[in-house]
Chains A and B, each alone.
Chain A
Amino acid sequence: MNGLIYLYKRTIINRIKKALKRPVTYFVTVFILLYVVMIYNSFNMMIQEGNFNSAGNLVTILSMIIFFLIPGNLISYAKRKGLLFRPSEVHFVFSSPVSPKMVLMFAGVKSFSVNILVGLAIAVAGALWFEASPLQALLYFLFFVVFESILEASCIIFCYGNEKLPEKFFSVLVIAMYTFMGFVVGMASYLLITREPSFGLLQNFFSMPMIQMIPVVGWNVAVTRLIFLGPDAVNITGTVLFLVSTMLMFAAAWRMQCTGDYYEDAMKFADEYQERRAKQKKGIASVPWLEKHRKFRQASVEYKGTCAKAIYFRQMLEYKKNPTFIFGWNTLLCLGLGVLIGAVGYFNDAVSQFGPAKIFIIPGVASYVVFIFSGYATKWSRELENPYTYLIPDTPLKKVWYATKIEHIRAVVDGVLITLPGAVVFGIGPVLTVLTILLYVCLQANRLYYGMLADALIGNILGNTGRTLVKILFQGIAIGIGIVAAIVAGLLISVEAGFLVMIVVMGLLTFAGAAASSVSFTKMEVLE
């Protein structure tokens, strides 16, 4: 115990010290403060103007959260994935002379701290916006921090520390929780469809005695109602049942024998999480289930070139072995987006509504998508981690081109998917359609190379957030220049010329970015 307290204390102190030394901390703090002020003001306005400031509304919002949060937590704990252990904890904490239940509480402290913050936020919001008295706010905060935390701690020990109940029990528990959540969503959807959809409908739904009598979740809602709306027979009964069940869970958890069987699952999850985090840091999108079940096909490729060209053919071989070739979630997303643009345009009669400006709808949406989504790392970015990439006897610019060539092919396909449905609906001519697709390809290439350039220029100096902001800034400047050039050409010559000029200008800027970013391919150190 002494060791765990020391561990927490030193970790917090060292993290704060380290954060204070980094300029990005102050930048992010100011940003968060401004964001909080902005959120506060907009919420304030929204709640006051919408006459939303009643305790009843607060209770409904909290009830909705409770109905998803508690089963959600229980599911993650029953799957033994709700607590996050790091490899360092597996190394130093699991084998130390600390009771495995205490180790669970050590990991749970993170959740309990979140409870304090959430409880505080609810209490403050209740008092500021929902006409709750200070006593009500304080009572709810204490309930949330004390009883919810006891309940959560007991659940953690029950799910992780249980060495008697078979694994099947927990699988059934997970299914039951999902069924319950599905049932609630189904009920709510049924009511919203069959009756006039309104917030009052949800209010009535959660005030039903039947709902408040659902074990644990409903009882939790009953406590919330008792605190904010005053006593009635149903919520008093629910509250008593909640307190009794929490105490019983606590007693059961206290008495339960736990020798540390769960360490195996926790260790496995720690490794998986570490791997996922490493991938996320590199921007690689991964779905663990798919990764585990991924199968590769037999494939071959003929290398029609040497030196840097070999990078392209090797990537092509890897993609050919992939069951979905070069396509993935992003392809589906583009298809969905294309269909959506077409459908929205068709049903809203965009042709007559937008007039000649209709040709800017697809490029506008495409630019937004490229600008907002940070993109995902694919095989090209892994080239930068491969020492052989640097050893290949060829120029960095050629390496950049062949390492990213498939990305451009993919961008063409994605561009076609985004553009075609809308182009058909809006009746856009073939020349403009091709130009729109080219513009999308250009934007994607721009993002890719400017991102690489930002990585090469600032490395880890500003952290991930800083790097993303610099990337957005670079891209924003390039897009801005492209738009200005397009407007000028559009006004002076024609719309098609505007498009063409934008593509040419963006293409030149992108090429300049690619040439500058090729520095990444000169030596591995650039990335550090």
Chain B
Amino acid sequence: MLEIQSLTKKYGHYLAVDHVSFTVPDGKVGILLGPNGAGKSTIIKSIAGLLRYQGGVGIEQMPARTLEARRIFAYVPELPAMFDALTVREHIEYVRRAYNSSITDEEIERLLVRFELEDKQNKLGNELSKGMMQKVSICCALAIKPRVILLDEPMVGLDPAAIKELKEVLLELKEQGVTILISTHMLEMVKELWDVMFIMEKGKIVGIFTREQARDTDIEELFFRITGGGEAQ
């Protein structure tokens, strides 16, 4: 479970996130939507422990900043950054050691095959394209075998095959009871994944819907109904 309680973040005098609270239950996929500048990335970075904030973030009922919570938490940032001198395989090996993950060599091989990285294993971080970096970043997050995973615009830069694979992986994780939160602009891509939707605007949550509540309403329609945009589309 991922719990956000009254999260507030200011940059100087600018209030980027204003008392935001929401919960993504165990084994559910939450999607965080909102126009540019709504505060999505700030929330994601705060949950990942990269920003100072007021309020609370709980991962499986543990404060997010404790080492125990971090051990079961994975984060895929919007812009992946690789270690220049580490190969693809070494990135995953580093993660395995840093998190003391139980992932086996065979599982790593399977992961690399799924994301078409098996022939790129020995490529260094600075030799990878943007899309490949994103794939490595996703593989590293999965290598943790997390209980909670946070993905910030994970589909950006991925080829269609990788997007399809990622969707399948996320559904598998969901079946395993992993809590997932995805921040994205690509509404089309998360249509079949989501269980609970959080719509943000100007630093606040302005709408929360579960799939049951939404019934057959289209995700885009829900989004534009709340944010008031998209008339021209």
A associates with B? yes
Question: Is A117's beta carbon under 8 Å from chain B?
Answer: no
- In the bound complex, CA of A96 to CA of B48 (Å): 10
Residues in chain A near residue B125, CB distance under 8 A: 88
Question: Beyond A96-B99, A264-B51, A264-B52, is A6–B84 a contact (Cβ under 8 Å)?
Answer: no
| Contact between chains at B81 and A90 (CB < 8 Å) | yes
**Residues of chain B from 38 to 94 with CB closer than 8 A to chain A in the complex:** 48-52, 65, 67-68, 70-71, 73, 75, 77, 79-87, 90-91, 93-94
Nearest-Cβ distance from residue B177 to partner chain A, whole angstroms: 20
Q: Which residue of B lies closest to A10 (CB)?
A: B90
| Contact between chains at B81 and A4 (CB < 8 Å) | no
| Contact between chains at B83 and A96 (CB < 8 Å) | no
Residues in chain B near residue A88, CB distance under 8 A: 81-84, 125
| Contact between chains at A2 and B51 (CB < 8 Å) | no
Residues in chain B near residue A90, CB distance under 8 A: 50, 81
Question: Is B217's beta carbon under 8 Å from chain A?
Answer: no
- In the bound complex, CA of A97 to CA of B69 (Å): 8
| Contact between chains at A11 and B86 (CB < 8 Å) | yes
Identify A96's interface contact among B52, B68, B70, CB under 8 A.
Answer: B70
Question: Is B13's beta carbon under 8 Å from chain A?
Answer: no
Residues in chain A near residue B137, CB distance under 8 A: 91
Q: Interface 1/0s, chain A 253-278, versus B by CB < 8 A? A: 00000011101100100000000000
Residues in chain B near residue A98, CB distance under 8 A: 67, 98
Question: Is A14's beta carbon under 8 Å from chain B?
Answer: yes
Q: Which residue of A lies closest to B100 (CB)?
A: A2
Q: Which residue of B lies closest to A17 (CB)?
A: B85
Question: Is A94's beta carbon under 8 Å from chain B?
Answer: yes
Residues in chain A near residue B215, CB distance under 8 A: none
Q: Which residue of A lies closest to B47 (CB)?
A: A95
Residues in chain B near residue A3, CB distance under 8 A: 94-95, 97-99
Nearest-Cβ distance from residue A470 to partner chain B, whole angstroms: 23
Question: Beyond A88-B83, A94-B49, A97-B99, is A7–B65 a contact (Cβ under 8 Å)?
Answer: no
| Contact between chains at A261 and B52 (CB < 8 Å) | yes
Residues in chain A near residue B82, CB distance under 8 A: 88, 91
- In the bound complex, CA of A267 to CA of B52 (Å): 12
Question: Is B124's beta carbon under 8 Å from chain A?
Answer: yes
- In the bound complex, CA of A264 to CA of B12 (Å): 13
Residues in chain A near residue B75, CB distance under 8 A: 95
Question: Is B140's beta carbon under 8 Å from chain A?
Answer: yes
**Residues of chain A from 90 to 107 with CB closer than 8 A to chain B in the complex:** 90-99
- In the bound complex, CA of A92 to CA of B140 (Å): 9
Nearest-Cβ distance from residue A389 to partner chain B, whole angstroms: 23
Q: Which residue of B lies closest to A13 (CB)?
A: B85
Identify B95's interface contact among A11, A86, A92, A94, CB under 8 A.
Answer: A92
| Contact between chains at A14 and B70 (CB < 8 Å) | no
- In the bound complex, CA of A230 to CA of B73 (Å): 57
Identify A92's interface contact among B83, B85, B87, CB under 8 A.
Answer: B83
Nearest-Cβ distance from residue A15 to partner chain B, whole angstroms: 5
- In the bound complex, CA of A259 to CA of B69 (Å): 13
Nearest-Cβ distance from residue B130 to partner chain A, whole angstroms: 13
- In the bound complex, CA of A109 to CA of B137 (Å): 26
Identify A267's interface contact among B50, B65, B98, B100, CB under 8 A.
Answer: B50
| Contact between chains at A97 and B98 (CB < 8 Å) | yes
Question: Beyond A14-B87, A94-B50, A259-B65, is A6–B81 a contact (Cβ under 8 Å)?
Answer: no
Nearest-Cβ distance from residue B3 to partner chain A, whole angstroms: 18
Question: Beyond A2-B98, A260-B49, A264-B51, is A91–B85 a contact (Cβ under 8 Å)?
Answer: no
Q: Interface 1/0s, chain B 104-147, versus A by CB < 8 A? A: 00000000000000000000110000000000010010000000
| Contact between chains at A91 and B81 (CB < 8 Å) | yes
- In the bound complex, CA of A403 to CA of B226 (Å): 49
Question: Is A18's beta carbon under 8 Å from chain B?
Answer: yes
| Contact between chains at B81 and A86 (CB < 8 Å) | yes
Question: Is A87's beta carbon under 8 Å from chain B?
Answer: yes
- In the bound complex, CA of A215 to CA of B98 (Å): 40
| Contact between chains at A11 and B85 (CB < 8 Å) | yes
Identify A18's interface contact among B52, B71, B85, B99, CB under 8 A.
Answer: B85
| Contact between chains at B91 and A95 (CB < 8 Å) | no
Q: Interface 1/0s, chain A 67-100, versus B by CB < 8 A? A: 0000000000000000000111011111111110
| Contact between chains at B65 and A95 (CB < 8 Å) | no
Residues in chain A near residue B86, CB distance under 8 A: 7, 10-11, 14
| Contact between chains at B49 and A6 (CB < 8 Å) | no
Residues in chain B near residue A6, CB distance under 8 A: 93-94, 97-98
| Contact between chains at A95 and B50 (CB < 8 Å) | yes
Question: Beyond A6-B97, A92-B94, A264-B52, is A97–B85 a contact (Cβ under 8 Å)?
Answer: no
Question: Beyond A6-B94, A88-B81, is A95–B99 a contact (Cβ under 8 Å)?
Answer: no
- In the bound complex, CA of A98 to CA of B49 (Å): 12
Residues in chain B near residue A4, CB distance under 8 A: 98
Residues in chain A near residue B87, CB distance under 8 A: 14
Q: Interface 1/0s, chain A 390-430, versus B by CB < 8 A? A: 00000000000000000000000000000000000000000
Residues in chain A near residue B100, CB distance under 8 A: 2, 97
Question: Beyond A10-B85, A264-B50, is A95–B94 a contact (Cβ under 8 Å)?
Answer: no
Given A91-B137, A95-B50, 20 more pairs with CB closer than 8 A: A3-B98, A4-B98, A6-B98, A10-B93, A14-B86, A14-B90, A14-B124, A87-B81, A88-B82, A88-B125, A92-B83, A95-B73, A97-B68, A97-B70, A97-B71, A97-B99, A259-B65, A261-B52, A263-B49, A264-B50
What are 13 A-B interface contacts by the 8 Å CB criterion?
A6-B97, A7-B94, A10-B86, A14-B87, A92-B91, A94-B50, A95-B50, A97-B71, A97-B98, A98-B67, A259-B65, A264-B52, A267-B50
Q: Which 10 A-B pairs have CB atoms at the shortest separation, nearest pair first?
A: A3-B98, A87-B81, A97-B70, A3-B97, A14-B85, A97-B71, A88-B81, A96-B98, A2-B97, A88-B83
Which B residues lie at the A interface, using CB under 8 A?
A: 48-52, 65, 67-68, 70-71, 73, 75, 77, 79-87, 90-91, 93-95, 97-100, 124-125, 137, 140
